[in-house]
Amino acid sequence: MTWPLALYFGFVVFLAVAVLALSHLLGQRHAEPATGETYEGGIVSEGSARVRFFSRYYLLAMFFVVFDLEAVFLFAWASVVREAGWDGYCEVLVFAGMLLAALAYLWRCGALDWAGQRKKV
């Protein structure tokens, strides 16, 4: 039963190698002075491309992912709420309570406040 999978895998590898070989053989080769330069929509780039971001951007992104996953789990629970019964209801209350406690902790620490300094807890 695994031979179709092996055949498919072999075909995919063959196809990838064939496409890379054909693009190497048929592709254009040129070495103009502007080939190695960056292209930013016709605007000449200036300065370094390595710009430092505050870690708050990354923290906000992580908070968004955590609380967005909460919504995904709650939607999944809502689709099976009748089958889950009271046990499922109690579990989702515990889940939402834990995330609400995490949100309260982040709020208290000042992680959601961009204007002021963070407090140590």
Residue-level pLDDT at 31: 77
Distance CA 82, CA 78 (A): 8
Q: Tell me which residue of 114, 118, 121, 120 sits closest to 57, measured CA to CA.
A: 114
pTM over 0.75: no
DSSP alpha helix (H) spans, 44-117: 55-79, 81-109
Q: Can you tell me whether residue 40 is helix, strand or coil?
A: strand
CATH number at residue 79: 1.20.58.1610
Does residue 65 sit within a domain? yes
Structural domain boundaries, residue 68: 55-109
Does residue 100 sit within a domain? yes
Q: Supply 55's token pair.
A: 């870690």
Residue-level pLDDT at 9: 95
Please check the confidence at residue 38 and state whether its pLDDT lies above 90.
no
Which residues are CB-neighbours of 112 under 8 A, at least 6 positions away?
63, 106
